[in-house]
């Protein structure tokens, strides 16, 4: 980053040099233009002297030109000085123009260096991580070899061990060759029981992408990227800051006293592909308790739709409706907007419950 900061200093200095040269060019041009002004003044004075002589001749009197002659003499001196200055300025103008051209070329060169330095700083981060990545992958060789060897050895003593090999064995090598890196569910997103509940019961028999590499994992590398961008900004690079991942909003428990809340559908995924194979809409009704983001809960309370546990006096809950209620997901006879919204959520990942307030608008 120090190289970037140094280049920014050089660029600023070069810009100031160009500003000074452009100011000198303006002064030189003004000196050239000023010579024309003195020529016009001298011409005017000489015309006045001729009129004075003509008037004296008509009046048959001697002409008194002392004053006008003094003015003409002074104007001639000013004109000569202006012409000399204009000639010097004209010669200097070519030199200044060349100086500006050279200075701008140097500025362009500094910008090229800056672009290379910024790109180099980012690539240095990448290449350092690449070295660690290659080293980490190399360590997999011994691990994979051990797993493959175990399955092969099992096959040679099948008369003793009996049955198929119970581990991953050679399949881990096949994964690397055909599918990519895979790990047991305990090292994947399914290590979270809430996530595992979305999959069919045979999910422990399958392997998955690491939790950090799973397509459903959000915010990967955001913190590292934000740090790199912040460092570039601190060095003076114009860069849009990365919006850092915010922690989830706290949830509070509420009880519904009016209306209904449609929760995200309960989904079932195929362990082998991760695709949703079924989903069931969920609805919360009056008397049900449900955890909501605090901001949502506060808005709903203000609309007199829910009561907040620990803050409001709770009416008796309805045992038959406490908790989520599974409803018929078949298409209604008269399509309703809120039911269409449920069917649109095909890849639910969180626990947010949207409120249907269409009936109260």
pLDDT by residue for the chain (361 residues), tens only, comes to 889 889 989 999 999 999 999 998 998 888 887 777 777 778 888 888 888 888 888 888 888 888 888 888 888 888 788 788 788 888 888 899 999 999 999 999 999 999 999 999 999 999 999 999 889 988 988 999 999 999 988 887 877 888 888 998 899 999 888 888 899 999 999 999 999 999 999 999 999 989 888 888 888 788 888 888 888 888 888 888 877 777 888 999 999 999 999 888 889 999 988 899 999 998 999 989 999 999 999 999 999 999 999 999 887 666 544 444 443 433 333 333 333 333 333 343 444 444 444 444 4
Rg of the chain in Å (alpha carbons): 42
Distances (CA, A) of 348 to 182, 269, 285, 320, 353: 23, 11, 21, 27, 11
> How far is it, in rounded angstroms, from Cα 189 to Cα 199?
11
Fold of 2-129: Helix Hairpins (1.10.287)
pLDDT score for 317: 61
Sign of CA dihedral 153, 155, 157, 158: positive
HSE-CB at 268 with a 13 A cutoff on CA atoms is 8
pLDDT at 333: 39
Query: Could you tell me if 251 and 294 are in contact, meaning their C-beta atoms sit under 8 angstroms apart?
Result: yes
Domain layout of the chain by residue ranges: 2-129, 251-360
Distances (CA, A) of 340 to 266, 269, 281: 16, 21, 11
């Amino acid at each position: 980053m120090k190289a970037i900061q140094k280049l920014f200093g050089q660029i600023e200095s070069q810009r100031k040099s160009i500003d000074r040269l452009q100011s000198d060019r303006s002064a030189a041009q003004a000196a050239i233009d000023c010579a024309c002004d003195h020529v016009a003044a001298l011409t005017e004075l000489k015309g006045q002297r001729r009129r004075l002589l003509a008037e004296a001749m008509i009046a048959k009197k001697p002409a008194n030109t002392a004053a006008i002659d003094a003015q003409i003499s002074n104007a001639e001196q000013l004109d000569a000085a202006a012409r000399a200055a204009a000639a010097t300025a004209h010669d200097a103008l070519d030199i200044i123009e060349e100086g500006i051209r050279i200075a701008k070329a140097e500025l362009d060169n500094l910008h090229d260096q800056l672009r290379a330095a910024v790109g180099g700083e980012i690539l240095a981060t990448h290449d350092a991580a690449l070295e660690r990545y290659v080293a980490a992958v190399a360590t997999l060789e011994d691990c994979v070899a051990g797993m493959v060897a175990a399955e092969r050895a099992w096959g040679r003593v099948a008369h003793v061990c009996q049955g198929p090999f119970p581990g991953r064995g050679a399949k881990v090598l096949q994964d690397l060759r055909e599918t990519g890196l895979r790990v047991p569910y305990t090292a994947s997103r399914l290590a979270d029981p809430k996530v595992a509940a979305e999959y069919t019961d045979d999910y422990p028999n399958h392997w998955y992408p690491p939790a950090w590499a799973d397509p459903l994992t959000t915010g990967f590398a955001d913190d590292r990227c934000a740090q790199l961008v912040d460092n570039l900004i601190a060095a003076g690079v114009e860069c849009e800051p990365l919006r850092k991942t915010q922690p989830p909003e706290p949830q509070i428990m509420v009880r519904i006293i009016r209306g209904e809340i449609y929760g995200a559908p309960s989904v079932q995924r195929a362990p082998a592909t991760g695709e949703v194979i079924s989903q069931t809409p969920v609805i919360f009704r009056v008397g049900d308790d449900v955890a909501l983001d605090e901001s949502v809960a506060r808005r709903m309370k203000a609309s007199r739709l829910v009561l907040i546990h620990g803050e409001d006096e709770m009416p008796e809950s309805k045992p038959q409706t406490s908790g989520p209620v599974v409803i018929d997901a078949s298409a209604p006879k008269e399509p309703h907007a809120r039911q269409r919204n449920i069917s649109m959520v095909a890849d639910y990942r969180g626990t947010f419950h949207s409120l249907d307030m269409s009936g109260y608008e």
